[in-house]
């Protein structure tokens, strides 16, 4: 098991290329199974979750080829003959559960393990299963597996997602495009990942009405064909590096390969902290403010403030001059990083789903431990402005979601070393 050893404080100067999005890539990979010919996806990041999902897909008999140097992934479903996604793979990442919709949609049967993933918060799959039942599929639970069956054509119907869910929207769309006569999803997620999936399925030949809105209506088509598609750039990585650039008053960073339109309202919130931000095509230039203005946020569904950036924002607010609050309305208990930031010197008090932050506090290096992906990166950001040496333990979480993180940050001035974590 590895750890990061970070020596701070260090200003950041230079250019960081943004990688392809894991969260957008995984639905596209599942969609490739639905085609009758190969699909090639570009801008794919080298991440643990990508490798895991490649193996999940290979188990079904599909051919998967990943050119890591070029970021090109090709999936050929021609020899798919096994309709199961086993526990030993699905337990490693929740998005493997997309195999349920893909296999049910393509072949009318699926056996998929209940998922694993980050160890915080209840994120049940009830919405996925209830939606498929509403579509007309037969869904049963058996010894930790979901067993799904469906005839060649399902009558469909209407299902309302309460609350709106990216994962459930993706799974229901995957299940419906080849099988449901007409199926309407109300309160559908409209995050960029969902929009991209629907757009690419439409290119494959799917009949999807309402793309980009809260109401999706899917009508069955007889077949889909493979396509060539570009994966989106990672909007959460973009936001993370924008925050990293703002945290040290001497930082000056340019981010490239950015899908600016996918950032929602985040840029306008970011401007409130006093940083200079210039957007030019697919590049964003950030110059840190001399003093960070305290700015409170509440997470909301897209295009509101992303829950996946709240830990990073709270970390930045420890360096703001004054009081601020970070409220998570998506996941109430996503504050596992707070005790670790307090170990570094932060002044944060969590009440229910709100972190109350008093700044500016001087952070000092210590050994800290992460429990999930975004908590991990918030501790890295803290370590880069803390005085002395910070050890961030359990960085396997980071390897799931940030491609070449230490290399990208070291290239712009950070002092980060990957080392073996001794138990």
For the beta carbon of residue 211, count every other beta carbon within 10 angstroms.
17
Contacts of 69 (CB under 8 A, 6+ apart): none
- Residues 123-165 have pLDDT tens digits of 468 999 999 999 999 999 998 899 999 999 999 999 999 989 9
**404 known member of a binding site:** no
pLDDT digits (tens, 9 = 90+) for 99-115: 999 999 999 999 998 87
Residue 179 CA, distance from chain mean position: 28
8 Å CB contact between 394 and 420:
no
Which class in CATH covers the domain with range 22-230? alpha beta
Q: Which residues are catalytic?
A: 118
Interhelix angle for 310-317 vs 235-246, to 10°? 0
> What is d(CA 34, CA 259) in angstroms, rounded to the nearest whole number?
26
CB 28 within 8 Å of CB 63: no
> Does the annotation place 124 within a ligand binding site?
yes
Q: Domain spans of the chain?
A: 2-19+233-420, 22-230
Measured CA to CA in angstroms, residue 212 lies from 191, 219, 228, 409 at distances of 8, 17, 21, 34
- For 163-208, the pLDDT digits (tens) are 899 999 999 999 999 999 999 999 999 999 999 999 999 999 999 9
Contact 348, 324 (CB under 8 A): no
What is the predicted pLDDT for the residue at 399? Answer: 86
| E strand segments, 49-96 | 63-67, 72-76, 84-85
Report whether 330 belongs to an annotated binding site: yes
Place of tokens 């700015």: 295
Q: Percent of the chain, pLDDT > 90? A: 87
Tell me whether strands 228-230 and 39-42 are parallel, antiparallel or unpaired.
parallel
Element (H, E) at 13: strand 13-17
Do 2-19+233-420 and 22-230 come out as alike in CATH topology?
A: yes
Collect all residues with Cβ–Cβ distance below 8 Å to 88 and sequence separation of at least 6: none
CB 307 within 8 A of CB 328: yes
Paired tokens of 42: 């570009």
Instruction: Classify strands 2-8 and 415-420 as parallel, antiparallel or unpaired.
Output: antiparallel
Class of domain 2-19+233-420: alpha beta
Q: Is 94 assigned to a binding site?
A: yes
Nearest Cα residue to 27 out of 121, 115, 113, 94: 94
């Amino acid at each position: 098991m590895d750890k990061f050893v970070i020596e701070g404080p260090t200003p950041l100067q230079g250019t960081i290329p943004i990688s392809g999005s894991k969260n957008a890539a995984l639905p596209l990979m599942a969609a490739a199974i639905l085609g009758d010919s190969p699909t090639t996806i570009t801008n794919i990041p080298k991440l643990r979750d990508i490798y895991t999902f490649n193996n999940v897909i290979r188990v079904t008999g599909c051919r998967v080829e990943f050119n890591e140097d070029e970021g090109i992934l090709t999936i050929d479903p021609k020899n798919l003959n096994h309709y199961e996604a086993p526990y030993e793979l699905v337990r490693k990442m929740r998005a493997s559960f997309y195999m349920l919709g893909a296999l049910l949609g393509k072949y009318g049967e699926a056996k998929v393990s209940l998922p694993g993933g980050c160890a915080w918060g209840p994120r049940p799959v009830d919405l996925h299963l209830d939606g498929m039942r509403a579509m007309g599929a037969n869904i049963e639970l058996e010894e930790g597996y979901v067993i799904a069956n469906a005839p060649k054509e399902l009558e469909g119907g209407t299902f309302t997602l309460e609350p709106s869910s990216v994962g459930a929207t993706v799974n229901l769309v995957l299940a419906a495009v080849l099988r449901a006569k007409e199926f309407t999803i109300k309160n559908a997620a409209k995050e960029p990942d969902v929009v991209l999936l629907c757009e690419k399925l439409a290119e494959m030949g799917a009949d999807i009405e309402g793309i980009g809105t809260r109401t999706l209506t899917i009508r069955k088509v007889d077949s889909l064909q493979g396509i060539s598609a570009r994966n989106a750039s990672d909007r959460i990585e973009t936001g993370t590096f924008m925050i990293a650039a703002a945290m040290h008053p001497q930082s000056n960073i340019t981010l490239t390969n950015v899908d600016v339109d996918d950032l929602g309202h985040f840029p306008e919130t970011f401007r409130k902290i006093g940083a200079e931000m210039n957007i030019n095509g697919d590049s964003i230039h950030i110059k840190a403010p001399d003093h960070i203005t305290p700015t409170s946020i509440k997470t909301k569904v897209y295009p509101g403030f992303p829950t996946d950036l709240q830990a990073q924002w709270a970390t930045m607010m420890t360096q703001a001059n004054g009081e601020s609050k970070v409220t998570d309305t998506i996941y109430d208990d996503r504050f596992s990083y707070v005790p670790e930031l307090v170990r570094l010197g932060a002044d944060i008090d969590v009440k229910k789903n709100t972190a109350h932050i008093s700044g500016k506090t001087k952070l000092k290096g210590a050994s800290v431990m992460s429990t999930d992906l975004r908590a991990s990166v918030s501790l890295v950001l803290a370590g880069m402005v803390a005085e002395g040496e910070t050890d961030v333990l359990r960085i396997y979480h980071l390897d799931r979601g940030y491609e070449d993180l230490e290399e990208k940050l070291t290239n712009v001035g950070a002092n980060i070393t990957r080392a073996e974590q001794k138990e």
